[in-house]
Chain A
Amino acid sequence: MIDTLIQGILLGGYYAVIACGLSFMFSVMRIINLAHGSLAVAAAYGLWLLASTFGISPFAGLLIVLPVMAVAGWMLQRYLLERSARGGALLPILTTFGLAIVLDNLMFEQFGADTRSLAPFIGSLSYDSWELPGGIYVGKLAVMTMASAIALLGGLQFFLSRFALGRAIRATAEDPDTAGLVGIDARKANALAAAIAMVTVGIAGAFLGMRATFDPYSGGPQLLFAFEAAVIGGAGSLWGTLIGGIVLGLAQSLGAQVHPQGFLIGGHAVFLAMLFARLFLTGVPFLGRTGFSRTGLPKIRAALRSTP
């Protein structure tokens, strides 16, 4: 039982990593990127390709994949999201959904239906474990994932509060119109935020590939996990995603103990239960209500912005 709980908590580290980019992008640009999971899978394939053809270890591979992801994020914002966001709040959902379909099927075309894993390329790390008192084993990779999640969230928090660029992103998230008036290029701040989000997606892709297997259509489930962790965490505050990830990981691990299909059912059920509880207890279901959400009169501001 304790073993299950520990595994569940550590699994939450992975969910925190994959959720933080989704939540970050939502809190800055108000866009839920439906291609989020597919992009993580694409990063995993990138690492797999580097490892299987050039023998580059996935950790070294990140040095190549993460900059590529950053550029992809920048371009995603500049060429797709910025344009579709002008058409209203609903259009980016459709744009990113279309992008996810393109990505998934391109990966299928390229890599076929076989499941892949990065585990063979990281030596014994994928199955090494430490023994805790009481005969409990914890996987080194799972601990590393959790440590990375904490480092990533902490680093992001530090960047957002201590660096001028981080403050510019927060200011843009809160009020892009006024951000422009104080000298911030909101388009640039958004593109930078998207680039950062995609770097976190790249890291998530690495852990996805190392801890399990993936196939071209793994993006959908990963998006759902990221979304669930972000919403359970009541995100916007970055640390919320860690809590959300842990709750989701625990629910899945406990569910798996009950029934073979309980892993997914447990996760989805806890997500809906949390949503339900929050809806009816506080009336605030949303992502990003705390932290750096916009307040005041966004509609009026939007109207002012759109006027030539």
Chain B
Amino acid sequence: MTLASNGISIERWTRSSRLALGGVALALALFAIAPLTLGAGAIDRMTALFIYVILAAMWNALAGFGGLVSVGQQVFFGLGAYFTIRLADTGLNPFLALFAAAIITGAISLPLSFFMLRLKGGEFAIGMWVISALTHMLVNLDRLIQGETGTSLISLNVYDINTRRVVIYWLALASMAALLGILFALLRSRAGAAIQAIRDNEDAATSLGVRVVATKRLLFVLAAFGIAIAGALWLATATTFQPKTYFSVQWTAYMIFMVLIGGIGKFEGAILGAVLFFVIETFFGAMGVWYLIGLGATAVLFSLFLPQGLWGEIERRFDLRLLPVGYRVKLPGPPKIQWNQ
């Protein structure tokens, strides 16, 4: 392959992406002061949205960038909540317990990764589900949890209900911003180039010396940590812990739905998907079972007809990169790429 002309430049930031980054900063600032004007119900809903964004971004990190589709990510969601309960029971401040629980869950995911990352494709997917089912059973054995009856994060009760609500809101916002920031930085780092090489062609990446397994492990642990934070935050807003609710495969179904409609393997796609899911849930969540049928059917249709998701479609139509994690080759004039044998 030869490039027929010179004057090529490589760019990481486009004009629109600089604007987008400014927009993100502005949005975060607005979100941060929003509780001053929002009512209690709205604050809770926004907290849920931040948690959804975390879930979508973390599942996308694993599947979209690491090529690891898991249907057992609820294990980390459940463990994040479980360890929060456990730690709070020992007397640790419940807000500290949220993050300590996520760190413990992340630490557990490391040895687990040595085992699970040996599995491929669908085996990894269902293997994770088995891990989740087993973990669920083991958590039920803990007397503190009282089986499926569950328990509550009672130590939160020492805080005033309104203070609590706003603090959890801020924690969720900060966690979301931090996790997205970590992922964004990771994807733009050297490891990011490796991640995208793996996404495009794992075998080729291996032969180029990309440390595929180490890179996947990084994503696996990050996803476990992030989803555990989400689970712990969910517990903080709901206060009750029933293992069945937290270790439900429904959580992974939501993650898959958000990422599929937003755009698998697209940084912005997961965020878009979470926002759409949030809107859909707000309007149709009350429909109960038909709502779930609709989610499943939409996921099937996207996987068949629009596997790149909405963001993929937007990128393709408008050549738009808002939060670029890659590089763009900029050619002067129309591209003149010529193939010679």
- Chain A interface (Cβ < 8 Å from any Cβ of B): 26, 30-32, 34, 80, 83-84, 87, 89-95, 97-102, 105-106, 108-109, 220-221, 223-224, 227-228, 231, 259, 261, 264-265, 268-269, 271-272, 275-276, 279, 285-287, 299
Within B286-328, which residues are at the interface with A (CB < 8 Å)?
Answer: 289-290, 292-293, 295-300, 303-304, 307
Could you tell me if A87 and B300 are in contact, using CB atoms closer than 8 angstroms? no
Chain B interface category by residue count = 35 or more
Cα distance A259–B138 when bound, in Å?
Answer: 12
Could you tell me if B290 and A93 are in contact, using CB atoms closer than 8 angstroms? no
**For the complex, would chain B's binding face be called helix, strand, loop or mixed by DSSP majority?**
helix
| Nearest Cβ on chain B to A7's Cβ, whole angstroms | 21
**Closest 9 interchain pairs by CB?**
A32-B122, A101-B296, A98-B299, A102-B296, A98-B300, A268-B134, A95-B303, A105-B292, A105-B293
Among the listed A98, A221, A268, which residue makes an inter-chain contact with B297, where contact means beta carbons less than 8 Å apart?
A98
List, in ascending order, chain B residues with CB within 8 A of A220's CB.
129, 249
Within B117-174, which residues are at the interface with A (CB < 8 Å)?
Answer: 118-123, 125-127, 129-131, 133-134, 137-138, 140-141
Among the listed A91, A264, A272, which residue makes an inter-chain contact with B307, where contact means beta carbons less than 8 Å apart?
A91
The reply to whether the CB of B253 lies closer than 8 angstroms to some CB of chain A is yes
Could you tell me if A95 and B121 are in contact, using CB atoms closer than 8 angstroms? no
Among the listed B122, B141, B256, which residue makes an inter-chain contact with A261, where contact means beta carbons less than 8 Å apart?
B141
Given contacts A93-B71, A101-B253, A106-B293, contact A268 B130 (CB under 8 A): yes
| Nearest Cβ on chain B to A85's Cβ, whole angstroms | 11
Q: List 11 A-B contacts (CB under 8 A).
A: A84-B304, A92-B122, A97-B71, A98-B260, A98-B297, A99-B296, A224-B126, A264-B134, A265-B137, A285-B119, A286-B120
Given contacts A105-B292, A109-B289, contact A93 B69 (CB under 8 A): yes
Which residue of chain A is the closest to B141 with respect to CB atoms? Answer: A261
Could you tell me if A95 and B300 are in contact, using CB atoms closer than 8 angstroms? yes
| Nearest Cβ on chain A to B14's Cβ, whole angstroms | 28
Which residue of chain B is the closest to A87 with respect to CB atoms? Answer: B307
Could you tell me if A87 and B303 are in contact, using CB atoms closer than 8 angstroms? yes
Cα distance A90–B186 when bound, in Å?
Answer: 23
Within B85-126, which residues are at the interface with A (CB < 8 Å)?
Answer: 115, 118-123, 125-126
List, in ascending order, chain B residues with CB within 8 A of A271's CB.
130
Could you tell me if B296 and A105 are in contact, using CB atoms closer than 8 angstroms? yes
| Nearest Cβ on chain B to A112's Cβ, whole angstroms | 10
List, in ascending order, chain A residues with CB within 8 A of B299's CB.
94-95, 97-98, 101
List, in ascending order, chain B residues with CB within 8 A of A93's CB.
69, 71, 121-122, 125
Could you tell me if B123 and A287 are in contact, using CB atoms closer than 8 angstroms? yes
Which residue of chain B is the closest to A81 with respect to CB atoms? Answer: B304
Between B121, B253, B298, B303, the greatest number of chain A beta carbons within 10 A of the residue's beta carbon is seen for B303
Given contacts A80-B304, A101-B295, A108-B289, contact A264 B126 (CB under 8 A): no
Cα distance A90–B124 when bound, in Å?
Answer: 11
12 extra A-B contacts, CB within 8 A, seeds A100-B296, A275-B115: A32-B123, A34-B71, A80-B304, A84-B303, A89-B121, A102-B293, A102-B297, A105-B293, A106-B293, A109-B290, A109-B293, A223-B126
Could you tell me if B137 and A224 are in contact, using CB atoms closer than 8 angstroms? no
Which residue of chain B is the closest to A103 with respect to CB atoms? Answer: B296
List, in ascending order, chain B residues with CB within 8 A of A89's CB.
121
Cα distance A80–B133 when bound, in Å?
Answer: 28
| Nearest Cβ on chain B to A186's Cβ, whole angstroms | 20
Cα distance A91–B256 when bound, in Å?
Answer: 11
The reply to whether the CB of B11 lies closer than 8 angstroms to some CB of chain A is no
Cα distance A97–B141 when bound, in Å?
Answer: 29
List, in ascending order, chain B residues with CB within 8 A of A91's CB.
303, 307
| Nearest Cβ on chain B to A265's Cβ, whole angstroms | 5
Among the listed A90, A98, A109, A231, which residue makes an inter-chain contact with B121, where contact means beta carbons less than 8 Å apart?
A90
Cα distance A105–B288 when bound, in Å?
Answer: 10
| Nearest Cβ on chain A to B148's Cβ, whole angstroms | 10
Could you tell me if B123 and A224 are in contact, using CB atoms closer than 8 angstroms? no
Which residue of chain A is the closest to B297 with respect to CB atoms? Answer: A102
